[in-house]
Structures are given as C-alpha cells and as structure tokens.
Amino acid sequence: MSTPALAVEALTYTYPGAGAPALRDVTLTVARGEFVVLAGLSACGKSTLLRAACGLVPHFHGGTFAGTVRTGGLDTRDHHPAALAAVCGSLFQDPETQAVLGSVRAELAFPLENHGHGSAAVARGVEEVALALGIETLLDRPTHELSGGELQRVALGAALAGRPQLVLLDEPTSQLDPVAGDELVWLLRRLNEEWGTTVVLAEHRLERCLGAADRVVVLDDGAIVCDAAPSAFLAWAGQHEPTLQTPGARRSCSSTSRPRSWTRSPATSSSGCCGG
C-alpha cells in the first residue's frame, strides 16, 4: 500500500498566547490522488490544518504541538517547510505575498532551482507547468503587471513546479471573480486527474468546488465533525450546519419541503429533506 499523501494523527495545536487550541485531536488520512475540500465556518481551523501540513505549524508559528503530521511520508516535526516543499506545494489567499521575483519565468523557476535542479530541468519544468496552466504567453511578463487571476495562476504554477505529490490551497478563489474562480477549480481538477496530484483545498465558496471533490472534511472549533462524500456532506449540513449548504442545495431543500399546493394546510405539509 502506498504512503498517504497526508497523514494526521491525534493533532492538537495551540498558537502562542492563545487561550484554546486551534486544532483538537485531529486525525485525517488523505490518499494519493484524492481531491479533498476542507469546509467550516470562519476560525474553525482550516487554515491551521493546512499550515500544519506544510510545516509552518509549528516551525514558523511556534506554539504547542502534540500528535504527528506526515506529509508525503515526511514527519513535519523532523522536516522544516523548505524540505517539505519538495513533496508539497502551497497556495494561500493572497498571491501577491507569494510573488518574490520580477518575472513570471523567474517565479516559476525559483522553486525548481531551490530544489537543486539543473538549468535544463528547470527550463523544461517551467515550460511544462506554464503549458498545463495556460500561462505560457505570460512567461516574459513582469509579475507586477499581472491581473489578479493571472497572478493566481502564476502562484499556482510555482506551487506545482516540479510536480509535488500534494498541493495545499487556502481560499485560493477569495480574490477572484466567479468565472476566474471556477476556472481555477477546473484547472485543479484537471491536474488532479492528469498528473495524479493530490489536492487539499480549504474554501468558503463550496458551490465552486464540490463538483470536483472526492471528499469533504468539515472542521468545527478545531475538530473534525464530518468526513464524507459531497452528497453525504450536503445531507449532513442540512441537518447540522445549514450555513454550509450550497445555494442549490438550499433551494432543493426548500422546494422539496414545500407542499404541492401553494395553499399550505396541515394535512398536506411535509418536513422534507431538511428535517422540518
């Protein structure tokens, strides 16, 4: 059996000075090739879990860490973020904070150079990821001239350069318009299928990504409260956390709970799929 892309066991983590843990006894396994969506209300622990997976927790943030996290088989307690970057790419909410070089070509080449690839391998890797993401025409553009959507694709390209087995994304569509956001999720699913890249995506706009997901993992107050296929997650959300339902699911719930006649009467009313 192959090593999981991500294995979290009994993880409890508290930020420095915090009065309560950000993560509580989290156990999660993500197999290679899966597309997993992390869901939950604000401050539920999604971002912290991603930071733990790429080693920023605890190496950068400090704090109290108990349990184990293995990313691509590497124990994050023994490997710092730079070493983990060889098996795990990361993309956070604001791509401008991740762009460190002046041109798109240099930005895509940077992670490959950091991993010690030769010049020919770097050039080949840059062309490959640029073609995969449809940004080959941007390679010689300055990064400061790019639109938000273009910069997000470049940041994703840098995360995917060298084909890491796992990519972690924290609200990657938050600054994109609906069309650009949908395109980004479509690109992720295509790379997941064609390259076998494992995707773990934290997202509030669930209607954009449930169609691409294999599983949805819901966090509440730092603990996992649901781990299910998208359809089962929507059923769970209807009963336990309706604010997480997609607009389409809420409309479906409303229509199925409405009596066939527009004149409601106790004799014909039904509790419907949302449990009344």
Q: What is the pLDDT along the chain (276 residues), one digit of tens a residue?
A: 589 999 999 999 999 999 999 999 999 999 999 999 999 999 999 999 999 999 999 999 999 999 999 999 999 999 999 899 989 999 887 766 777 788 999 999 998 998 888 999 999 999 999 998 889 999 999 998 988 888 888 989 999 988 899 999 999 887 778 888 888 899 899 999 999 999 999 998 899 999 999 999 999 999 999 999 999 999 999 999 999 988 766 665 554 444 433 332 333 333 233 332
Helix count and strand count (H, E) for the chain: 10, 10
pLDDT at 57 (0 to 100): 95
Q: Which residues contact 240 (CB under 8 A, 6 or more apart)?
A: 225, 226
- Same domain as 175, residue 48: yes
Residues 180 and 78 grouped into a single domain? yes
The residue among 163, 192, 212 that closes a domain is 163
Tell me if 269 is assigned to some domain: no
Position 104 scores a pLDDT of 95
Question: Residue 61's domain spans which residues?
Answer: 1-87+164-227
The helix or strand, by DSSP H or E, that contains position 216, with its residue range, turns out to be strand 215-220
Token pair listed for 98: 């991740």
Give CA separation, 142 vs 22, 42, 146, 172, 180, in Å: 38, 34, 7, 21, 20
Nearest to 48 by CA among 242, 221, 229: 221
* 258 assigned to some structural domain: no
Is 1 in the same domain as 69?
A: yes
Judge if 107 and 157 occupy the same domain. Answer: yes
Q: Give the list of residues 6+ apart from residue 152 with CB closer than 8 angstroms, or none.
A: 91, 95, 172, 175, 176, 180, 184
pLDDT of res. 136:
93
Residue 189 shares a structural domain with residue 199: yes
Shared domain for 35 and 79, answered yes or no, is yes
The closest alpha carbon to 86, from 123, 130, 55, belongs to: 55
Q: 80 and 197, same structural domain?
A: yes
Q: Is residue 67 a part of any domain in this protein?
A: yes
Distance of CA 44 to the CA centre of its chain: 14
**Predicted pLDDT of residue 275:** 32
Position 250 scores a pLDDT of: 63
170 and 156 in a common domain: no
Q: Where is the domain boundary, 147, 163, 179?
A: 163
The per-residue pLDDT for 48 is 97
* Any domain includes 81: yes
- Tokens standing for residue 97: 């904070």
Domain membership flag for residue 10: yes
Domain-embedded: residue 271: no
Q: Please tell me whether residues 171 and 56 are part of one structural domain.
A: yes
The four Cα atoms 212, 218, 224, 226 give a dihedral, to 10 degrees, of -80
CATH number of the domain where residue 209 is located = 3.40.50.300
On whether residue 7 sits in a domain, the answer given is: yes
Task: For residues 51 and 187, state if they share a domain.
Answer: yes
Q: Which of 163, 178, 195 is the last residue of a domain?
A: 163
pLDDT of residue 177: 82
Strand order in the sheet with 74-75: 23-30, 6-14, 64-71, 74-75
pTM of the model: 0.85
Please count the structural domains in the chain: 2
Are residue 128 and residue 148 in the same domain, yes or no? yes
Do the domain assignments include residue 2?
Answer: yes
Query: What per-residue confidence (pLDDT) applies to 101?
Result: 82
Residues 103 and 126 in one domain: yes
